[in-house]
A and B are shown apart, each in its own frame.
Chain A
Amino acid sequence: MTTRLLARGSVYAAAYVVLTLLSGAFGLASGEVQFRISEALLPFACVDPAAVVGLTLGTAIANGLASPMGLADVVAGALLTLTAALLMWRIGPRVVALAAPVVVNGLGVGAELALILHLPFWPSVGLVALGEAVVLFTGGLLVLSLIRRHGALLGLPGRPRPDVRAISRQDER
C-alpha cells in the first residue's frame, strides 16, 4: 500500500460517510427500503483500487456512526461493500458493474433482515435491491459517466482506454 493510495482511500471513505449522513438526515439511509446516496460513489471502485479500500472503510465508519445496529453492521456492511467493490474492479467501468452492488447488498442485507427479524427473505432482498438499484442507476450512472468523461481531470489511475478522437486526428494528419 502506498501513501498516496492511503490518502486517497481516506478521502473516499470520508466522502462516503458525508453522503450517508446527508441521506440519513432525510431518514433514508438504513432499514428495509434504503436510499443511500453514498452508494452512488461505488463506480469509482471500477477504476481506482483506492476506492475499493476507501469505500469499504467508509461503509464501516458510516455504519458505526449512524446505524442503530452498530458493531454488527460495521462488520457485515464492510464485507458486503468489499465484495461489491472487488466485483466492480474486476468488471471495469461498464454499466454492468452497477449491478454488482445491487445483487450483493440485496442478498446480504436481505439475509441480515431475515436473520435478525425473521422477515421473509426474498421480499426483503427485493426491497433492498430496489432501493440500491434506484441509487445506482441514477446517481451511480451519473458518477460512472463523470468518471468516463472526466477521469483524467480527477487524476484517476486506471485502465488507459484508447482516445478515439486523438487517434482519428492523427490519421487525418
Chain B
Amino acid sequence: MRMAIAQYYPRASPIHRLDPRCKVVAVAALVVGLFLRSSFAALAVYGLVAVAGLLLSGVPLGWVARGLRPVVWLLVLTFVVQLLFAPGPAFYTLGPLHLSLRGLAIAGYLSLRLVVLVVASLLLTLTTPPIALTDALAWLSRPLRRLRVPTEELALMVTIALRFIPTLMQEIDTIMKAQRARGASFTRGGPLRRARALVPVLVPLFILSFRRADELALAMEARCYLPGAPRTRLHPLHAHRRDAVVLVLVAALVVLAELI
C-alpha cells in the first residue's frame, strides 16, 4: 500500500526557505483578511498575493490542481444554490426556475474566494514539511501554556504520530495479507460485508499498535523523558530578516485590501 501522505513538495525556493512560523502567521493573516472584507477588489489583492507566492515557490501547477480537486464539488453546489435561490432581477426564467444576475455575481465571488483560500492554504502545506509546521504551531501556541495547555507535549505527540503513520500503513498491509492467506476476502460483498471483513484486521492492528505505544513509553522513560520538563531541539527555529520583510509586506497588503 503506497500513497503520498503529505502534500509537501520539496524544493529550494525563497518560500520554502522562510521560517515556518512566518509562513503560518502570513497565511493566517491572509485567510482572516479574506473573510473580513467582501469586495472583488480585496479578493483580487489576496488572489495576486497567493498567485505570486505560488510562482515564487516553484511548485508545479499540477500539484496545486490536485489540491483543488476535492473542492470542485463544493463549487458546483455553491453555484447551483446561489443561482437558484439568490434574490434579484432574473436574467433567465424557465418556468418556476428563476436565475438571478445577483446570484451569479455572489456565486462567482464565493467560488473565487474559496479558490484563493485553498491556494493560500496549499502554499503553506506545499512548501513546509509537516514536522516544521508542527514546530511552528507549537511555538505560536506557547501563550496557551499559561492556561495549562501542554503545548510541548502535544507537539511531541504530533511528531510521533507522523512517524507512526507509515508504520501503521505497513502494519495494515501485513495483517491484510496474513488474513488473506487464511482465506479472508476484503473485496467481496456489499459495503456491510466489506466493513465486517475489516474486523479481523482492526483487532490485531489495535493490539499491535497499543503494544508498540507501551514499548515506546517505556523506552522514553528509560531515556529519562519527563513530561512537562523543558526540552532542547536539534534544529531550533531561526527567524531571519527576510521573514520580517515578508511579514511587513503581508501586513501592508492586508491593510491595503481592507481599505480599497
How many Å lie between the Cα of A4 and that of B215 in the bound state? 9
Pairwise interchain contact A10-B164, C-beta atoms closer than 8 A: yes
Q: Is B165 an interface residue (CB 8 A)?
A: yes
**Residue in A17, A27, A54 whose Cβ sees the most chain B Cβ within 10 Å:** A17
Q: Which of B45-53, B90-98, B217-225 forms contacts with chain A?
A: B217-225
How many Å lie between the Cα of A3 and that of B215 in the bound state? 11
How many Å lie between the Cα of A16 and that of B53 in the bound state? 31
Other-chain residue from B27, B192, B207, B228 in contact with A153 (beta carbon distance below 8 A): B207
Interface residues on A, range: 35 or more
- B216 partner residues in chain A, CB cutoff 8 A: 7, 10
How many Å lie between the Cα of A155 and that of B67 in the bound state? 39
Pairwise interchain contact B165-A18, C-beta atoms closer than 8 A: yes
Pairwise interchain contact A68-B124, C-beta atoms closer than 8 A: no
Report the count of interface residues on B (CB-CB < 8 A): 70
Pairwise interchain contact A146-B70, C-beta atoms closer than 8 A: no
How many Å lie between the Cα of A60 and that of B125 in the bound state? 13
Pairwise interchain contact A31-B70, C-beta atoms closer than 8 A: yes
Q: Is A158 an interface residue (CB 8 A)?
A: no
How many Å lie between the Cα of A117 and that of B74 in the bound state? 8
Other-chain residue from B106, B169, B206 in contact with A154 (beta carbon distance below 8 A): B206
Q: How far is the CB of A58 from chain B (nearest CB, A)?
A: 7
Q: Mark B81-116, 1 if CB is under 8 A from A, else 0.
A: 110010000000000000000000010001001100
Pairwise interchain contact B153-A15, C-beta atoms closer than 8 A: no
Q: Mark B160-204, 1 if CB is under 8 A from A, else 0.
A: 111011011100100000000000000000001001100100110
What DSSP secondary structure best describes chain B's contact surface?
Answer: helix
- B161 partner residues in chain A, CB cutoff 8 A: 10-11, 13-14, 17, 54, 57-58, 61
Q: Mark B198-240, 1 if CB is under 8 A from A, else 0.
A: 0100110111011011101100110001011000000000000
Given A118-B82, A153-B207, are A69 and B118 neighbors across the interface (CB < 8 Å)? yes
How many Å lie between the Cα of A167 and that of B113 in the bound state? 63
The interface of chain A, by Cβ under 8 A from chain B, is: 1-4, 6-11, 13-15, 17-18, 21, 25, 27, 29-32, 53-54, 57-58, 60-61, 64-66, 68-72, 74, 113, 115-120, 138-139, 142-143, 146, 150, 153-155
The interface of chain B, by Cβ under 8 A from chain A, is: 3, 5-7, 24, 27-28, 31, 35, 67-68, 70-71, 73-74, 77-78, 81-82, 85, 106, 110, 113-114, 117-118, 120-122, 124-125, 130, 133, 137, 150, 153-154, 156-158, 160-162, 164-165, 167-169, 172, 192, 195-196, 199, 202-203, 205-207, 209-210, 212-214, 216-217, 220-221, 225, 227-228
